[in-house]
Structure 1
Amino acid sequence: MRLDNYSSNQTLPTMASGFPVDTDRLTDDLYEAVNGKWAEQATIPGDHSSTGGFMDLVDNIEHTLMADFDDLLAGKLTPGNAEMGEFKKLYTLALNFDQREENGVAPLKPYLEKIEGLRDFADLNAHLTEWFLTGLSTPVTISVDPDMKDTDHYALYLDAPSLILPDKTYYAKDNPAAKQLLPIFTTTAEKLLQLCGYSADRAQTIVAQAKAFDAQIAPHVKSAEESADYVKMYNPFPLADVDAKTTQLDLTGAIKGLIHDAPAQVILPQPTYFDALDSLLTPDNFENLKSWMLVNTVFDGTGALTEEFRQVGGTYRRALSGQKEARSQKKAAYYLATGTFGQVVGDYYGRKYFGEKAKADVRDMVLKMTAVYQRRLKTNTWLSAATREKAIVKLQKLTIKVGYPDEIDPLYQQFKIDDHASLFENLQHISEIAIKHHFSRWGQPVDRKRWDMSANTVNAYYSPDNNEIVFPAAILQKPFYSLDQSSSANYGGIGAVIAHEISHAFDNNGSQFDEFGNINNWWTDSDLAHFKDLAQAMIDEFDGIDFAGQKVNGKLTVSENIADAGGLSCALEAAKSASEIDLKAFFINWANVWRMKATTEYMQLLLSIDVHAPAKLRANVQVKNLDDFYTTFDVKPTDKMYLAPDKRVKIW
């Protein structure tokens, strides 16, 4: 580490992304000092629930690609491959709202009639495999994913369905949000059913029954906080024992239809739900189940039908996030088409706007950050030699994916658009192809080359079961990364993001997986106990902080907070070892990338379900744990940004 170029008397950067930094507030509130002037003039677009750093990048990519795809539709841009040609057809269909009006609700009707035609559970069982392959709502979900204790092979996971309200905690009697949201859901669902041809009275009955079934599910599923503990998702049971938990569904028969096999063992992420399944699936409750299936099916189809369906169907979702208006028809069509052809669009974006040279440059940055992380592990003072050696092995085995995949997933070659069929019918056909492909993975080797994000997605992720970090092209731009920014500013942006994802390999979840992605305890008992104490300190640091009229849940956000802390600390070390050092720029850009202005509804929703702490707290709390923050800005014990040394949480 070379500190010879560092001086605490550096000139303070006065601008953050074009807005002046309030230098008088840096020791009082870093986030507000950096982002306050921006927030004063920032407005949240009517079709957004937030604006700011991440969302600005999303909007820029949207603007760029929509302009390119205008040329594609006009014939000025030739599709670069067959898959892009099919995307063009789907986008054309999605934009044809006149044809949608002409088709009306007719494309959805056959699926509603299938549900209406069910007489009893025996009837449902006779069609259960078809139901799964069609993607219709079922009281049990089934998926094929890597076995968390043997990630070279796939396992079958059986899980509970989603709830109407965002989280189990909303169903508590004292939760005020539910009292506001359920009436909006009720009105929305009743309107949609009436658009499908149901009478007002019949729609009211169906929605009441659907809510009754949903309320019965809620006590038996996990909250977001409980779901945030990955390892507790791994609950293997004999299939015969699971099937015996319900007298009404033939799960073994349906599974045989899906994967042409009956595995001895299945995984239940939420076993308590299956313990309650027989009490939910009773003949007396069958009409409630049917109504629940009807309501879910109608909601699922709204985006591909008429404009009225689209507007009404989005009412509840907009209420959840505080979004004032629906997207324009053109934007809605863009997101529907790009979402369906995600990797195809990502391949186009990555190759045109990122390229192989940038891909190699950023990969080098990632390798530099992993080297810094390895040095930190080697010099770690609280890990024993045995655990430290295992941690280094895991880091060295980390798979790095940058920019975009080398080739488009062959699945997209199967997506063929029928110009003479409706938008809804085409989307349903593609969905069924994707579902069939998903279940065809059973018995095949796990595909570790697969990407879970398209290159045009503004995000990044760590996968514990693959032990891999993935950085799509879209996030690799200003303010996170730019040649126009200083090295220190880039480390405070993309450097911290890269190290954040590396840190996930060693957070409270990732630390329980080995270098191959398997659940496997590689810690000594004393090291693990100490790590749990440090994780608890991170929980305590965030837990109960007032924000947006609610309080932060330290347990829900602990994994992301550990990753933020490790990422920022590691990026700081990298910045300090560069040839030019400007730690003020480092911390200012760290605060800058988290700028966010959001509706109260959206902030409160995130507090309930998001594993990340609020953006402002990510910016402010983590820097308090770093000694260099205090020396850089001369933070004193009387300043609001001061945290006593014995309270500073330092893990990685």
Structure 2
Amino acid sequence: MKNISAVRGGSGGVIEPKVGTRPQDNIYLAVNSEWLEKTDIPADRSRMAAFDMIDVNVEKHLMQDFADFAAGKKAVPAIANLDKAVNLYKLAKDFDKRNADGAQPIKADLTRLTELKDFSDYNLNAADLASFASIPFGLSVDPDMKNTKVNLLGFSGPGTYLPDTTTYETEDAPKLLAILQKQSVKLLEMAGIETEQAEQYAADAIKFDARLAKVVKSAEEWADYPACYNPMKIADFEAKFKDFKIKQYLVAVVGEEPDRINVEEPRYLDHINEIINEANFAEIKSWMIVNFINGAASDLSQDFREAAFPFSQALSGQPELSSGEKQAYHIANGAFSEVVGVYYGQTYFGAEAKKDVEDMIHRMLDVYEERLLANDWLSEATKQKAVGKLTALELKIGYPEKIEDIYNRLEVTPASQGGSLYSNDRAFAIAEQKYNMEQLHKEVDRTVWAMPANLVNACYDPQRNDLTFPAAILQAPFYDLKQDRATNFGGIGSVIAHEVSHAFDNNGAQFDKFGNMTNWWTDEDYAEFKKRTQAEIDLFDGLEYGPVKLNGKQIVSENIADQGGLTAAVEAAKNENDDLKKLFENFARIWANKQLVESIKSQTAVDVHAPGPDRANVQIQCQDDFYEVFGVKPTDGMWLDPAERVHIW
């Protein structure tokens, strides 16, 4: 196999454009070099990609709309809860008030943490503390993987300070943790903590984080979604805890002791007593305080925002902190994401475009069904099950017809009534946790959207067996009514089929048409599927992208989806006698990416997607039609021997 990473390079791993590159040698550079030369990464971002180009435009429109709403220049549309989002925006944008308040909004909660006396005090108050601070584990309610009509309580470990457990093994780790430690001390001093005490809190927090990093899951492990399903009887779960009063905590947070709980991180549960115990109390307390001050800083003054930026900057390379006005929009959008998404969809997503996209989706589904039925390595029994799953897919296009009930519960308390940005954020978190816990005894709502309409993305949910295509992604270069069909097939067509392919990737293949984790394969077919999955892992494993090497296992599900998506798009275009040259070029175009080296390191540590250039080049290398369309020869850079080309869907 030719490692086309060889044509990459440049300062710090940023891919250098090379105008005049032939598509036969590197189609990604052939298509994107001019874009790479002319595109600048904004100072408040760490990368620019095709997705980001659209996001910048969406952000620009919505920021202007929110500014006009707040100033009274434009009436707030009669969309449920949009007025609340605007009120939160006003609160976030009022930096005169935020700056005058300083650390005052967090004083009471910070004092509650610093005055924790001992482990008994922590045990007694853990449930109450969890309403505003970090606890070394999490609880959430999600559909039961083996019976998706009902919900199940889940248990998982906390996140780590560095992007992934593997990051702790890199030479960058000590430097990054030192930046976080210094930042935390400064923030605590600004909040009124004496320097010596602040330094002790920061040092102990780093020590506790190191304990966590040894036992929580890595990104590669989290990528194995079905491995998260480990239900236990509640009595067996509670018996795992020796020092922490888990029964008391469950009753306080959940409102009961449920019969069962799903342990998403079994290894973490096995080590729980090494993590949460009396001897570790000082570290636990410090970890909670450091997490709290770093998390709350963004809700406070501009000085706090700036003081909390160095660690994020070190991880991303982002040169500048975003403006206060931009932060205000993102705070409102974050809290009321579905509401803002519905506004965006109704305002900017046309009915004609929706109709055309729906037509393309159905075309892609038809092509996928044809390909499944014509598949030469599946038995007839498995084919029929696969087609049954395909035809049962639910489609969510543009924006939802109804807004989820949680948004009706969120109330914004203005400054005139004593509200601060922090107090509202805190109240939202409590309301959201309560709402989530209430779902435990409710039937799973399959109408809920996984993404808001203004998010430039798309997704497949294996537990609902549905596809979501938010309005924001349905524009150029992915889709445009004015683009020819072949170009759209290379863009949104491949994205549509990519999401369909997730129903049949290494994770999705373990769920049936109802979203239940059930084996619907024959043993022989599944063995062959695993063999092909391993080939996809091997295809990407170890590829160099700037300063990093890719982990083929971590990114295999998305690579299977890319493979299936592009293959189906090519088939659809061939059925309509479209120009495959335009299709391949636009497929390369949608993965255009310009990224700072720090961002590359952080992103690849946790991302389940391959970097854009590899998504373009390596997947196209596996398309036999590419070689014919562009006349690729064995001496060309894009050549991949036929035996090494991966074909799954």
Normalising by the smaller structure, the TM-score range is over 0.9
State the shift of 1:59 in Å.
Answer: 0.3
Is 1:404 the counterpart of 2:402 in the alignment? no
Alpha-carbon separation, structure 2, partners of 1:24 and 1:42:
18
State the shift of 1:630 in Å.
Answer: 0.5
User: What letter corresponds to residue 157 of structure 1 in structure 2?
Assistant: G
Corresponding residue number in structure 1 for 2:133: 136
**Contact 1:220 1:272 (8 Å CA) reproduced:** yes
Corresponding residue number in structure 1 for 2:220: 225
Match of 1:620 among 608, 617, 620: 617
Deviations 1:249-298 (A, max 9, x none): 22222222233321222111111111111122221210110000001111
Match of 1:30 among 17, 27, 32: 27
User: What letter corresponds to residue 586 of structure 2 in structure 1?
Assistant: N
Match of 1:492 among 490, 493, 496: 490
Q: Secondary structure at the match of 1:157?
A: strand
Q: Secondary structure at the match of 2:261?
A: strand
Alpha-carbon separation, structure 1, partners of 2:177 and 2:471:
39
Corresponding residue number in structure 2 for 1:78: 75
User: What letter corresponds to residue 383 of structure 2 in structure 1?
Assistant: R
Q: Secondary structure at the match of 2:139?
A: strand
**Contact 1:403 1:473 (8 Å CA) reproduced:** yes
Corresponding residue number in structure 1 for 2:315: 320
Q: Provide TM-score, normalisation by structure 2.
A: 0.95
**Contact 1:151 1:516 (8 Å CA) reproduced:** yes
Structure 2: gaps spanning 5 or more residues: 1-16
Match of 2:269 among 259, 262, 274: 274
Alpha-carbon separation, structure 2, partners of 1:249 and 1:284:
12
User: What letter corresponds to residue 281 of structure 1 in structure 2?
Assistant: I
Alpha-carbon RMSD: 1.4
User: What letter corresponds to residue 168 of structure 1 in structure 2?
Assistant: T
Alpha-carbon separation, structure 2, partners of 1:53 and 1:592:
8
Corresponding residue number in structure 2 for 1:180: 175
State the shift of 1:98 in Å.
Answer: 0.6
Corresponding residue number in structure 1 for 2:602: 605
Q: Secondary structure at the match of 1:381?
A: coil
User: What letter corresponds to residue 549 of structure 2 in structure 1?
Assistant: K
Corresponding residue number in structure 2 for 1:572: 570
**Contact 1:461 1:471 (8 Å CA) reproduced:** yes
Corresponding residue number in structure 2 for 1:125: 123
Against the structure 1 CA distance between its residues 193 and 356, is the aligned structure 2 distance closer, same or farther, given a 3 Å change threshold? same
Alpha-carbon separation, structure 2, partners of 1:168 and 1:29:
34
Is 1:204 the counterpart of 2:199 in the alignment? yes
Alpha-carbon separation, structure 1, partners of 2:431 and 2:21:
59
**Contact 2:244 2:277 (8 Å CA) reproduced:** no
Q: Secondary structure at the match of 1:325?
A: coil
Match of 1:428 among 417, 426, 429: 426
Q: Secondary structure at the match of 1:222?
A: coil
Q: Secondary structure at the match of 2:149?
A: strand
Alpha-carbon separation, structure 2, partners of 1:245 and 1:26:
58
**Contact 2:353 2:481 (8 Å CA) reproduced:** no
Alpha-carbon separation, structure 1, partners of 2:99 and 2:18:
51
Corresponding residue number in structure 1 for 2:8: none
Corresponding residue number in structure 2 for 1:543: 541
State the shift of 1:150 in Å.
Answer: 1.0
Structure 1: gaps spanning 5 or more residues: 1-19
Is 1:585 the counterpart of 2:586 in the alignment? no
State the shift of 1:24 in Å.
Answer: 5.1
Corresponding residue number in structure 2 for 1:17: none
Alpha-carbon separation, structure 2, partners of 1:177 and 1:196:
29
Deviations 1:154-208 (A, max 9, x none): 1111110110111111222xx1120221111111111111111112211110011
State the shift of 1:123 in Å.
Answer: 2.0
Moved more, 272-281 or 488-497: 272-281
Corresponding residue number in structure 1 for 2:410: 415
Q: Secondary structure at the match of 1:110?
A: helix
Alpha-carbon separation, structure 1, partners of 2:53 and 2:387:
37
Is 1:102 the counterpart of 2:100 in the alignment? yes
Corresponding residue number in structure 2 for 1:257: 252
Deviations 1:300-332 (A, max 9, x none): 111110001111112211210111110011111
Against the structure 1 CA distance between its residues 76 and 569, is the aligned structure 2 distance closer, same or farther, given a 3 Å change threshold? same
Corresponding residue number in structure 1 for 2:502: 504
State the shift of 1:336 in Å.
Answer: 1.0
Q: Secondary structure at the match of 1:122?
A: helix
State the shift of 1:402 in Å.
Answer: 0.5
State the shift of 1:635 in Å.
Answer: 0.4
Corresponding residue number in structure 2 for 1:463: 461
**Contact 2:454 2:470 (8 Å CA) reproduced:** yes
**Contact 1:239 1:252 (8 Å CA) reproduced:** no
Moved more, 118-127 or 365-374: 118-127
Percent of residue pairs bearing the same amino acid type: 44
Corresponding residue number in structure 2 for 1:393: 388
Match of 2:295 among 276, 300, 307: 300
Alpha-carbon separation, structure 1, partners of 2:84 and 2:491:
37
State the shift of 1:28 in Å.
Answer: 0.6
Match of 2:48 among 41, 47, 51: 51
Q: Secondary structure at the match of 2:370?
A: helix
**Contact 2:163 2:606 (8 Å CA) reproduced:** yes
Q: Secondary structure at the match of 1:442?
A: helix
Corresponding residue number in structure 2 for 1:439: 437
User: What letter corresponds to residue 28 of structure 2 in structure 1?
Assistant: Y
Against the structure 1 CA distance between its residues 125 and 357, is the aligned structure 2 distance closer, same or farther, given a 3 Å change threshold? farther
**Contact 2:187 2:304 (8 Å CA) reproduced:** yes
User: What letter corresponds to residue 97 of structure 1 in structure 2?
Assistant: F
State the shift of 1:127 in Å.
Answer: 2.3
Alpha-carbon separation, structure 1, partners of 2:409 and 2:140:
21
Corresponding residue number in structure 1 for 2:6: none
Alpha-carbon separation, structure 2, partners of 1:542 and 1:21:
23
Alpha-carbon separation, structure 2, partners of 1:650 and 1:513:
21
User: What letter corresponds to residue 307 of structure 1 in structure 2?
Assistant: Q
User: What letter corresponds to residue 426 of structure 2 in structure 1?
Assistant: Q
Q: Secondary structure at the match of 2:589?
A: helix
Alpha-carbon separation, structure 2, partners of 1:117 and 1:639:
68
User: What letter corresponds to residue 284 of structure 1 in structure 2?
Assistant: A
Is 1:193 the counterpart of 2:188 in the alignment? yes
Match of 1:64 among 53, 61, 64: 61
**Contact 1:121 1:248 (8 Å CA) reproduced:** no
Alpha-carbon separation, structure 2, partners of 1:595 and 1:621:
14
Q: Provide TM-score, normalisation by structure 1.
A: 0.94
Corresponding residue number in structure 1 for 2:628: 631
Alpha-carbon separation, structure 2, partners of 1:601 and 1:583:
36
Alpha-carbon separation, structure 2, partners of 1:395 and 1:520:
15
State the shift of 1:110 in Å.
Answer: 1.3
State the shift of 1:21 in Å.
Answer: 10
State the shift of 1:25 in Å.
Answer: 1.2
Q: Secondary structure at the match of 1:158?
A: strand
Moved more, 246-255 or 38-47: 246-255
User: What letter corresponds to residue 581 of structure 2 in structure 1?
Assistant: K
Corresponding residue number in structure 2 for 1:5: none
Is 1:289 the counterpart of 2:284 in the alignment? yes
Alpha-carbon separation, structure 2, partners of 1:240 and 1:252:
9
Corresponding residue number in structure 2 for 1:561: 559
Deviations 1:433-478 (A, max 9, x none): 1111111111011111111211000001111111111010000000
Alpha-carbon separation, structure 2, partners of 1:157 and 1:93:
34
Match of 1:114 among 112, 115, 132: 112
Runs of 4+ in structure 1 deviating by more than 6 angstroms, as ranges, are none
Corresponding residue number in structure 1 for 2:164: 167
Q: Secondary structure at the match of 2:153?
A: strand
Alpha-carbon separation, structure 2, partners of 1:547 and 1:191:
35
Q: Secondary structure at the match of 1:29?
A: helix
Q: Secondary structure at the match of 1:441?
A: helix
State the shift of 1:135 in Å.
Answer: 3.9
State the shift of 1:611 in Å.
Answer: 0.5
Q: Secondary structure at the match of 1:249?
A: coil
User: What letter corresponds to residue 202 of structure 1 in structure 2?
Assistant: Q
**Contact 2:315 2:602 (8 Å CA) reproduced:** yes
Alpha-carbon separation, structure 2, partners of 1:282 and 1:249:
7
Alpha-carbon separation, structure 2, partners of 1:252 and 1:351:
46
Paired positions, count: 629
State the shift of 1:129 in Å.
Answer: 2.7
Alpha-carbon separation, structure 2, partners of 1:622 and 1:87:
41
